[in-house]
């Protein structure tokens, strides 16, 4: 049993920097619904059904189309699938099959990003499919650390690269530093006194007292 928490994915759709053709929320639900429909085996008996191998395709990958025709309305000639990005036509794909009992199939290499819509007309009926072609995000796929870059960054910033051989020594040094910090005398925080109101009151009091004593002793 697998559980997937998708409660907060919708927030990414509201992000102004989120690409319309590369949205994690849309990709998840598109692929989930496509898999559920493909695995259900349910198909309307009076209509042909056009399915795609994936609802989300990376640019440059292949996508496969499968057409299940209505047995009561067989398609005699090779049907053609019209692909659109929005309202702009992209290409027309002919579908073929290996034998009369096999489904019609076609393959397309996704070389354009965007939201695709496929329309197929045949045997007096119309079938439609949708999928998204998106650009690969290297920051989410390239997760292997670049050790040469990290070593160079550590050298330039005054750090060092830790490996398995130096791990024990590093742990010992950190433990010694923690003990030394715990045994160190408390840090005295110094605060300035000249910018306090009490300091000016005391200064004026001493100056006034000094003037008063001079007057009393006849020094002024």
Q: What is the dihedral of CA 19, 22, 25, 26, to 10 degrees?
A: 110
> Which has the closest alpha carbon to 54: 30, 25, 22, 21?
30
* Domain regions of the chain by residue span: 10-139
**How many Å apart are CA 93 and CA 62, to the nearest integer?**
13
Are 154 and 164 in contact by the 8 Å Cβ rule? The answer is: no
Which H or E run includes 217?
none
Residue 171's φ and ψ, nearest 5 degrees, are -65, -40
Q: What integer pLDDT is reported at residue 179 of this predicted model?
A: 84
- d(C-alpha 25, C-alpha 32), whole Å: 11
Give me the tens of pLDDT residue by residue for the chain, a chain 220 residues long.
Answer: 455 566 666 666 666 666 665 666 666 776 676 666 655 555 555 677 888 888 888 888 899 998 887 777 777 788 889 999 988 999 999 998 888 888 889 999 988 888 899 998 876 778 888 888 887 766 666 667 777 888 888 888 888 888 788 888 888 888 888 888 888 777 777 778 778 888 888 888 999 999 888 888 887 6
Rounded CA-CA distance 39/45 in Å is 17
- CATH fold for the domain made of 10-139: Immunoglobulin-like (2.60.40)
């Amino acid at each position: 049993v697998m559980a997937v928490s998708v409660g907060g994915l919708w927030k990414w759709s509201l992000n102004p920097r989120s690409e319309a053709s590369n949205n994690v929320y849309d990709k998840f639900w598109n692929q989930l619904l496509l898999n559920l429909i493909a695995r259900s085996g349910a198909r309307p008996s009076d209509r042909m059904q056009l399915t795609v191998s994936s609802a989300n395709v990376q640019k440059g990958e292949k996508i496969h189309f499968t057409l299940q025709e209505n047995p009561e309305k067989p398609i005699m000639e090779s049907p053609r699938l019209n692909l659109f990005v929005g309202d702009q036509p992209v290409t027309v794909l002919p579908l073929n099959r290996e034998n009369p009992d096999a489904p019609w199939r076609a393959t397309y290499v996704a070389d354009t990003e965007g939201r695709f819509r496929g329309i197929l007309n045949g045997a007096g009926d119309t079938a439609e499919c949708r999928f998204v072609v998106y650009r690969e995000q290297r920051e989410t796929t390239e997760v292997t650390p670049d050790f040469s870059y990290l070593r160079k960054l550590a050298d330039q910033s005054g750090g060092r690269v830790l490996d398995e051989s130096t791990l024990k020594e590093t742990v010992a040094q950190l433990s010694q530093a923690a003990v030394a910090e715990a045994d160190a005398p408390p840090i005295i925080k110094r605060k300035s006194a000249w910018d306090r109101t009490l300091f000016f009151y005391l200064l004026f009091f001493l100056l006034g007292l000094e003037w008063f004593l001079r007057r009393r002793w006849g020094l002024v």
